[in-house]
Amino acid sequence: MKPRIRLQSFFPLLALLALPAFAQHMTPIPPPPDVAAPPADAQTSASGLASKVLSAGTGSDHPQADDMVKVHYTGWTTDGKMFDSSVARDKPVVLPLNRVIAGWTEGLQLMVVGEKRRLWIPGKLAYDGHPNRPQGTLVFDVELLDILRVPSTPPDVAAPPSDAQVTKSGLASKVIKPGTGTRHPTADSNVRVHYTGWTTDGKMFDSSIAKGTPALFNLRKVIAGWTEGIPLMVEGETRRFWIPKGLAYRGEPGKPEGMLVFDVELIQITKE
């Protein structure tokens, strides 16, 4: 499968308003003893958001409002009814902080990676006024697992710089970060990578980082520029590719047009 996704497909429900689909047929997680109201030792912001650290994190960096985050969470109404839980599904979620309820956008920025925090979110910062959503103050236990920052548009996205390597096919590339390995994949290898792709006008059209999961694929089943370019790399390396139209999607309907630019991190060669 060629490495492509549509950005609007990342967040089917998040893009509308907030969190993933509410819990159905999940084993309820018992509510915390202070679910009805924040305790005296909770921090309360000017907006009315109250929070309390349940366990300290290991990181030092805080997410920003335009970051993606990977989290585990459980949500209750103040009468103790659980309405949603990634913990109950045993599946963390990746979401953009600028596309969730305001209480999450504010509250997650207080956290560091590894931290668990309880949030008491007033209705005005949650779903009040939106039908088929839980109303009133909502309580969430949130664990921040990771901050996922999609790379900004490269300054040389419009064309390869003079120090880029160019092959006979016209594929241009430049090492952004040297690797730690010595092996190169072959054109038949399976590889695990993180990548972000842009058109030459700087529009991002695809990113495994935004999904929170590296991509795994065979190099015979991707665009020709990847089949040629990834074997130039070693494990741990990050490289930028400028892939001519003829080595990309060649005008296929519904695919990004023209030269494409990819930043690729080769995480692992899983099969040579």
pLDDT value of position 21: 46
Tens digits of residue pLDDT in 189-213? 999 999 999 999 999 999 998 877 8
Enumerate the active-site residues. Answer: 73, 83-84, 101, 127, 140
Please name the amino acid found at residue 84. D
Mean pLDDT taken over the chain: 90
Amino acid 25: pLDDT: 64
Q: Is the pLDDT of residue 1 over 90?
A: no
Strands 138-148 and 238-243 come out as: unpaired
- pLDDT at site 158: 97
Q: Between vectors from CA 152 to CA 146 and to CA 158, what angle results, nearest 5°?
A: 150
pLDDT at 11 over 50: no
pLDDT in tens, 12-55: 223 333 444 455 567 889 999 999 999 999 999 999 999 999 99
Task: Tell me the per-residue pLDDT of 80-129, one tens digit each, with 9 for 90 and over.
Answer: 999 999 999 999 998 889 889 999 999 999 999 999 999 999 999 999 98
pTM, two decimals, is: 0.69
Q: What is the pLDDT of residues 157-188, one digit of tens each?
A: 999 999 999 999 999 999 999 999 999 999 99
Indicate if the alpha-carbon torsion angle 244, 245, 246, 247 is positive or negative. Answer: positive
Contacts of 203 (CB under 8 A, 6+ apart): none
Q: In 3D, which of 11, 203, 198 has the Cα closest to residue 97? A: 11
**The dihedral sign for the CA sequence 62, 63, 65, 66:** positive
Give the tokens for residue 164: 């880029």
Q: Which has more confidence, 151 or 29?
A: 29
**pLDDT for residue 12:** 29
User: Closest Cα partner for 173 from 134, 231, 212?
Assistant: 231
Instruction: Read off the pLDDT band of 57 (50, 70, 90).
Output: very high
